Amino acid sequence: MRIDKVTFENLASMAGKFSIDFNNPKIVDRGIFVLSGPTGSGKSTILDAICLAMYNQTPRLEKRNQLHGLISYGQVSYFAEVDFSDKGRKFRARWENNRAHNRPDGNLQNANQFLWELKDDDEKVELASGVSNVHAKITELTGFDFERFTRAMMLAQGKCAEFLLAKDDEKSGLLEQITGTEEYSEIGKCVYELYNDKVNAHAEAQKEVDKLSEKLGVQDPEAIRAAKSEAMEKARELGVKNAALEKQLGHCNKLEETLKEKEKVESQIQAHKDQQSEFESDRKLLDDAEKAEALKLKHLDGLDGKQKELGTQRGDASSCEQLKVDLANKIKLAENACAKARSQLEEAEREQAALGELLKAVRTLDTRIVEAQKVENEAKANVDTAQNAVDTAKQNHANCLKQLELARQESQTIQRWLEENKKYSTLPEGLSTIEKSARDWAGSKEALKDAKKEADQAAEKLEKVVRPALKTAKDKRDAVLAEYGKAKLSVESSVKALAEALGDRSVEGRRNSINGLTVEINSSGACIKALDDQASAVASKIQASEQLTAAESLVESCKVKYDSIHAEVEKQEEVVKVGDAIESLRKYREELKPGSPCPLCGSCEHPGISHDQVLSEDRKVLKELKHKQEVALKAFNEATAKNNQAQGKVDAESAALKRASENAERLLSEFGQAHQDFGVVTKESLEKYQQVCQEKIDSLNKEIKAIDLADASLRSANKALERVSKQLEAAKDALAKADANCQVAEEQAKSATVALSKKQSENAMRVDEFLEVAKPYLGEVDVEVAFASVASLKSVSGEWKSKVEKGKLANQSIATYEGRVGPLSEALQDATANRDKTLEAHGSAVQAKGRLASERKELFEDKVPDVEEANAVKKVKHAKAAQDEALKEHNNLVKDSAALDARIDVLANRIRLLEIDVEELSKLAEAAVVSAGFEGIEACRNALKSQDWLGEKRKLKKSLDEQGVGLAAKLESAKAQFEGARQLAEGLVKEDIETELNRAKADIDALNKEIGKLDEQLASFGEGERELEKLKAACEEARIQKEKWDELNKAIGGANGQNFRDLIQMFTLDNVIECANIRLAELMPRYELVRAESDSKDNLGINVIDTYMDGNERPTTCISGGETFVVSLALALGLSRLDNSNMHVESLFLDEGFGSLDSTTLDMASETFERLRSDGCLIGVISHIESLQELGEVLKVSKIGNTGRSKLEGPGCTYEYSKPAKPKKASRRKKVAEPSGG
């Protein structure tokens, strides 16, 4: 972790806002900075600000309720903020506090903290808020809690030697806090607990083996097997007899069912005959409609199309004649429009010429008016400038007089106040002594309060926590004993419930019955599926037959359509052939002159003059007909292919129907043979049989589930008993621990009472000292009143100094303003004269511009020359465009008239050809209709029916035909089944068979129950033997595990984890000493550190080896004070460099007593710091020793006179002064909540 920047406000003597950027290039380049300044200037306050921002506590003030000692006097708000980085991420922590109502005498409020992550885009993401949350989050992110931070990165005053001089048990705790090795104690505890679990598990396993072995010794499996064999033989004989009876009963049932099925089929055949009679009338209509449909496609549709086309062409010819009349009228109107447009163009050109002469004169006047406007604007600007100068001079003069009066009033007020408060003139000299004595008393008072609080807490803990905990442990032990009795009763109840659930039949016997019933369900399901497949095959064949009929109709329709289009193509080819012949006479038409007779036929109006367009359209029609012919041929081929596919599908479905029928007949026959008493095998009877089997399966499953539940309840009761046993052991251990804690708490309460008595004596002494010092200024007063008055006296002293300074400044202001009044009056007079001159010049410019504007208005009014000129040009342009548009419209109308004449000729030719086609098609259609048996075309049209009607009747006809075939086959099958059943049931009486069968079944059920009980006994014995083998294997495995964990427990286990913790701490201390010796060799090569040898497991002592005395080893308590500091510094540097994967030290702050070192050792320390800097670590040294200032950049903290404040200077430092807030006068004698820090 690296500290990048610290910012704080109003902490101790550092009143104001301060900031240090440790990423300043000068600091980064040197890698070391020295925070220098006199004692008490506030150097350590900067380190306090870093700790406050991150952890809400400081090394100097270990208790959080003492933080008010860091608050600057007279301020109402305080904060500390630190930017730091770790593992590539940047963070900002902030601590803030304030006084109530923003008053300097208000009570200090609760502090708050925030933690943000800083992103590259200057965005802040809040990670935590609140004092405890921020502390925990920083520890999680960096691995540094407050203790580790102040041991590894910030070595505060007095902290270096603390680790070296600590006792072994204290040293162990410090190592755990610094390095995070407390988890090894937990590991040791876990090993101890797991070992005890293995011991208990082995004992329990051995008990289970012994118990089951005793139970199995009283059973005789051979006698059980003999009884079972005898019962099975009897059951087999009864089963043979039962099968014969069931077969005879099946023959009787089969006879009844086949008789009913034969009667049912005969009634279905009679109903089918009635339906055929009803359909005879529709059958004739269907035949006529199908013939009419074929005639319609072949003849009537073509005739209707030609008649419709003939009507369309005649309508087009009539429309063209009307258009020709309208075009003649439009041509006359267009000629009139051309003449009018020509006249308007001439008028516009004359007006444009007249406007040009007038515009020359107007533009000259406009130029002169613009120049006059410029002169007027300049004059107006001069007037405004002069008036501003007058206003400014007046304001300056008035302000000067006002400031002079205010300065005189302030001077008089200050003099009066000084006279009234003359008695406080000597207060500043004695104030510092009073403040020091007050701070001493306040500290003693806080210590007394803390001691009393500790004594009260110890007593309260004894009465309210420890002794109640002892009682709770006893109560819990008694409650667990009662619960243990209940658990034993629950186990006995569960054993009884399991025996009742099993009854006289085993679970395996029930499961075998379920398997047999499942086979029956699958067998009947296969028969049902075969019947469904047969019905589906019948439906598929009917559907394929319908598709074949539709495909045949489609082929016939496509063939008729193709023949019709083919005939039209042949006719159109003849028309185009005639047109090509006319086209061959083109050269003769071109030589024909208008009005002259043709050299071939003598006509002046040759019929082929407009033939080009007609021939082109005829060829287009022929192309379209040929395309339609190709489409019709393609449709005919596709219809033929579909017809072939439909025929193939019909054949495939017929084969599938045959296979399905054969499969259904085979499966039904097999099922009937296996179940001769079943009766007629139908889908309904099979589904009912499946339902009965499923109900039996559900009943058996419910019984098995009840047995499983009873077994699970027994296992749960055994587990509960085991759990309560462990709880009972734990409750006994907790009772013993609570009794020990009670004894420890009684000793702590006695020690706290003795400490309280000492603090009371010390506080009484501090009260006497404080009252003696304050008596000359305050008289005989109570200590609390005296302490409250100290803050008031300090405020009065500061106010006296302030008034004196303000009086001097007021007198200086009076002299200054008296000297300014005269020059300001003269400046006001000069500005007024200048303004009058500029007003006269502006009036002359306005008059000149007005004369020019009047002359221009008389000549051209308010018109704009460019606009008027543009309008004239636009008018001429529009007139020309109108003339061109009129001529264009006239020419287009003439062209349209010629094209219309050609169109009329084409339409006349088409009408003639269509009339011939209609006449021929009518004759063909009439002949075809009569030959088909209709009286005429109209009768044929009347016979046509809708496609829905045709589809419905065709489907009904086909369905009736197929039903007839199917019912005949079904009747034959029913008769054959009836005859076969009659022969099998001959001579049998159903009632006698049923009576005998019921008797045999009852005997079989009794034997099966007996066999089931014997099976359960055998299965129970076999399961017991297998269970015994499993229990023996588990017991052996538990023994092996117990022996393994016994070895590990002896090595590192323990009830409190002490063994493993001590072992790891010795290794950790060795690593610390190794890192420390590297630095000690640089600082003081004479000494080397080693861990002291001892027979105890928790040996954490440290000795030094003196190389100057032949390697003599002695305790660190035997070296001098300066040597102790050097060794402590080496240890502290070693701790900061201790390898920890979760902590990375990139900043190191040293606030220690370098004054105890000689010059040689100081030089060694400087060299060590240089090496640390080369490792990439930023080093901050806090010291007032001048020789250390050469190490790096100097950040200087200096006092500001006798104000009790300090300032900060140096690279990366900023400082903003903060003026103290004034309390209200009414509260001057009020007690101040806390004293200022120093």
For residue 378, the Cα-to-chain-centroid distance in whole angstroms is 69
With contact defined as beta carbons under 8 Å apart, do 1134 and 1168 qualify? no
**pLDDT in the model for residue 960:** 79
**Nearest C-alpha neighbor of 293 from the set 553, 563, 546:** 553
Kindly give the pairing relationship between strand 1112-1115 and strand 1102-1106: antiparallel
Cβ atoms within 10 Å, residue 854: 9
Counting Cβ atoms within 10 Å, is residue 768 exposed (0-12), middle (13-18) or buried (19+)? Answer: exposed
Helices 221-278 and 990-1052 sit at what angle, rounded to 10 degrees? 120
**Nearest C-alpha neighbor of 380 from the set 846, 832, 831:** 846
**pLDDT in the model for residue 1229:** 41
**pLDDT in the model for residue 1235:** 37
**pLDDT in the model for residue 114:** 95
With contact defined as beta carbons under 8 Å apart, do 393 and 827 qualify? yes
**pLDDT in the model for residue 813:** 82
What is the residue type of 294? A
**Is 1-153+1180-1238 a domain of CATH 3.40.50.300?**
yes
With contact defined as beta carbons under 8 Å apart, do 396 and 824 qualify? yes
Instruction: Kindly report the pTM of this predicted structure.
Output: 0.36
Contacts of 675 (CB under 8 A, 6+ apart): 250
**pLDDT in the model for residue 324:** 79
Give residue for tokens 């005998």.
996
**pLDDT in the model for residue 94:** 95
Tell me how many degrees the CA angle 928-929-932 measures, rounded to the nearest 5. Answer: 85
**pLDDT in the model for residue 1158:** 67
Sign of the C-alpha dihedral computed for residues 682, 683, 684 and 686 taken in this order: positive
For residue range 1167-1185, what is the model confidence (pLDDT) as tens digits?
767 766 666 678 888 887 7
Residue 776: both structure tokens together: 């000359």
Q: Give Cα separations from 1039 to 188, 731, 1080 (angstroms).
A: 22, 26, 53
**pLDDT in the model for residue 609:** 42
In which residue ranges of the chain is pLDDT below 70? 62-69, 157-166, 168-182, 216-220, 423-428, 500-501, 503-505, 578-615, 676-681, 776-779, 1094-1098, 1121-1122, 1136-1143, 1152-1165, 1168, 1171-1176, 1219-1238
Contacts of 1076 (CB under 8 A, 6+ apart): 1089, 1127, 1130, 1131, 1133, 1134, 1135
User: Phi and psi of 8, rounded to 5°?
Assistant: -150, 165
**pLDDT in the model for residue 6:** 95
Contacts of 676 (CB under 8 A, 6+ apart): 246, 247, 248, 249, 250, 251, 254
> CA 1149, CA 1133: separation in Å to the nearest integer?
11
**pLDDT in the model for residue 1226:** 45
**Nearest C-alpha neighbor of 683 from the set 516, 526, 520:** 526
Give residue for tokens 């200054």.
816
With contact defined as beta carbons under 8 Å apart, do 852 and 365 qualify? yes
Query: Domain spans of the chain?
Result: 1-153+1180-1238, 222-278+948-988, 513-600+615-683
**pLDDT in the model for residue 115:** 95
> CA 970, CA 101: separation in Å to the nearest integer?
107
| Residues belonging to the chain | 1238
Residue 850: both structure tokens together: 């007005």
Q: How many CA atoms lie within 13 A of 187 on its CB side?
A: 13
Beta bridge partners of 1112: 1106
Give residue for tokens 């033929």.
640
